[in-house]
Amino acid sequence: MTAGSPRPTAVILLAGRSQRTWPLTADYPKPLLPLWGRPLTERVLEQLRGVVDTAVLVVGYQKERILDHFGTRYAGIRLVPVEQASARGTADALRVAAAAVRGPVLVLNGDDFYHHDDLARVSEHPTAILCKEASDPWNRATVTVTEGDWLVDVQEKPPAARPWELSSVGAYSLRREDLEHLGEVRESVRGELELPDLIRILARSSGVRAVRARRPWIPLTYPWDVIGRIVPLFGGDPPGQGARALGFETSTGEMGEGAVFVGEGASVHPEARLVGPVELGAGVRIAAGAEVERAVLMEGASVGAGATVRDSVLGRGASIGAGARLLSGPVERIQVLEHTARVGVPVVGACLGAGASVAAGAETPPGTLLGPAERFG
């Protein structure tokens, strides 16, 4: 984006149901999942300040809850909702948004955090893709580039990809005329119309610049991805650091190992032990003798006396009985509904949907998933 040129319109893709974050999203929209006390999409919109004036929100699943939360303006950015009636893929979502766009476009996945600096840098190029080495490229689109960082090819979710291959992070700068090629995108083997296929078409016709992200990029692909994202997000300079009752606390005086967020109205017994990163939502209750280590507990969740919760995510109102243990360990693949998840984090515990529970004294093996209101033990 050169001096005097119009700012792009952001198009944020928020319509999907996100099967891979089940059971957290079984009855809750992924854009509102907490990221250190604030919904993910709030944090993305804040990073867009000064980059765009308008953001088109492409909604579908749980659209009313998303739109009620954000209204028509957030962080000084005008918000324009459009609906993707059926989940036909990211290229189809952009097609739905095209009527609301008049000039350059900045397209963002709705389940990733992007830093302001990288969004500004990719917007400087008429047609560009934001890239970064990824620990789990099989969940992304890998890219091949020239020595001069022009895109050669992009492959969506290649199963043979190896860790730390250069990958698309789901942010694209496009010209308004680039959208005219959306009609050339054909259905993928996954039965969807996908943005990487549009980018491949543009690379062959007019050229696509590959811009390497320099600042934190945080994907939320699986439930366990919400754990510990605070460290790269704020990088040692967190807002609101201080009070235990509400806000941020660290064991070292700075964000890093030991970081704890305690939401409003949450209670932690003096004899309980928290080992960060730990995020406690509003109204969470931790009883005496409980140990909570590397975990996110959403609003109203509870952990009984003497229970152990490690590397786990508890949905709204989920409960862990006295003496129960949520064990953690390495798990390469997990079956999530109809999707086989190749997990990209070293160890995982359990993930409980809203109102799910683990009985007193029960032990859940690593990778346990409980749907809403399900009970273990």
pLDDT digits (tens, 9 = 90+) for 24-50: 999 888 888 888 878 889 889 999 999
Strands 351-352 and 308-314: parallel
pLDDT by residue (tens digit) across 76-86?
A: 999 999 999 88
Which pLDDT value is given to residue 111?
A: 86
Vertex 122 angle, CA 117 and 127, to 5°: 170
Instruction: Out of 83-87, 202-206, 250-254, 368-372, pick the least confident.
Output: 250-254
- Residue 49 — left, alpha, or beta (φ > 0 → left; ψ -120 to 50 → alpha)? beta
Domain boundaries, the chain: 9-221, 226-376
CATH class of 9-221: alpha beta
Average the pLDDT over each of 2-11, 101-110, 157-166 and give the range with the smallest value.
2-11
**Residues 297-339: pLDDT tens digits?**
999 999 999 999 999 999 999 999 999 999 999 888 888 877 7
The fold adopted by the segment(s) 226-376 is: UDP N-Acetylglucosamine Acyltransferase; domain 1 (2.160.10)
Residue the block writes with tokens 């739905």: 96
Reduced to 3 states (helix: H, G, I; strand: E, B; else coil), residue 370 is: strand
Q: How far apart are CA 333 and CA 114, in angstroms?
A: 27
Of residues 226 and 252, the one with the higher pLDDT is 226
- CA diameter of the chain: 65
CA distances (Å), 220 to each of 110, 119, 347, in order?
9, 18, 16
pTM of the predicted protein model = 0.87
Pairing of strands 128-134, 54-59: unpaired
Please tell me the least confidently modeled range out of 111-125, 169-183, 258-272, 352-366. Answer: 258-272
CA distances from 156 to 90, 178, 199, 273, 308 (A): 12, 20, 11, 42, 39
Domains 9-221 and 226-376 share a fold: no
Which pLDDT score is estimated for 221?
82
> What per-residue confidence (pLDDT) applies to 3?
54
